[in-house]
Amino acid sequence: MNPNKALWEKGDFTRIAESMRESGEALVQKIGVANGMKVLDLGCGDGTTALPEARLGADVLGVDIAANLVEAGTRRAKAESLANCRFQEGDASDLRDLKDGSFDLVVSIFGAMFAPRPLDVAREMTRVTRRGGRIVMGNWIPNDPTLVAQILKISSAYSPPPPEGFVSPMTWGIEDNVIERFGAAGVPKDRVSFVRDAYTFRFAAPPAELVDAFRKYYGPTMNAFEAAEKQGRSEDLKTDLEDLFNRENRSSDRGATIIPATYLRVTVTR
């Protein structure tokens, strides 16, 4: 079994994605999606950005490595009668089913960053984008003080070291790496631009319950808890994450959680 696929099929990312819908919709409004545009949403999950793209009239293909999320996205599009939003399984490192230059816009929000072999990912995203088209990526930033980078930092303190040669997904949040990877795919540096923006997690329960959702449904956090459990330290990990989520929570309602997290938005023009 492909470990990248197994990681994302392990949990149920829809349970986390539900806390990210508003920011997903807001982001789609900012990236120039228009009626009739051919959009590839890569690492689409259950369609947090794919559905809003389709609601704007784009012809959307969502591709994800996780079969359960492809099914969930298909169900969500069907429930809204969005015939212009299809989902299929695929790997961002190898998009062999997709033709050269077949999309006006390739969107990957915290998606392709998790695929192995980043040079292949940049090459494939570039290949399927038409000349004059765009690629928009949202990538978490390593060592950033906000939520997601800190979850990963805390989790790694409880996890075994990654296998040799492993390239951290977080390296997609470093501008020089992004320029180098698209450069290797033939995109000049002046066609790559960056904006730091915020994505807000909104959850209708206190922060400790959002931690619990990550523990039960988010593959990387599930793995961290399994590793901590083996060392008899799962309570310590829970406490560290709850401290983080409480610290970052901006909600004045004790029964709700609102946590903004900073990410790097990358725009590449072919």
Residues that bind ligand SAM (CB under 6 A): 4, 8, 13, 17, 20, 24, 43-45, 48-49, 64-66, 69, 91-93, 109-111, 114-115
Give the other-Cβ count within 10 Å of 45's Cβ.
26
Considering beta carbons, is residue 56 or 236 the nearer one to ligand SAM?
56
Q: Which two tokens stand for residue 14?
A: 């829809």
CA distance 172 to 53: 23
Q: Minimum CB separation from ligand SAM for residue 129, in Å? A: 16
Residue nearest to ligand SAM (CB): 45
Considering beta carbons, is residue 40 or 192 the nearer one to ligand SAM?
40
CB-based contact 41:107 (threshold 8 Å): yes
Q: Minimum CB separation from ligand SAM for residue 232, in Å? A: 29
Q: What's the order of all strands across the beta sheet hosting 129-140?
A: 85-89, 59-64, 38-42, 103-109, 129-140, 257-269, 192-203
Considering beta carbons, is residue 49 or 249 the nearer one to ligand SAM?
49
Positive or negative, the CA dihedral 47, 49, 52, 54 is negative
Q: Minimum CB separation from ligand SAM for residue 151, in Å? A: 11
Q: Minimum CB separation from ligand SAM for residue 231, in Å? A: 26
Long-range contacts, 232-237 (Cβ 8 Å, 24+): 233/158, 236/158, 237/154, 237/155, 237/158
Considering beta carbons, is residue 70 or 228 the nearer one to ligand SAM?
70
Q: Minimum CB separation from ligand SAM for residue 223, in Å? A: 14
Considering beta carbons, is residue 65 or 264 the nearer one to ligand SAM?
65
CA distance 25 to 53: 8
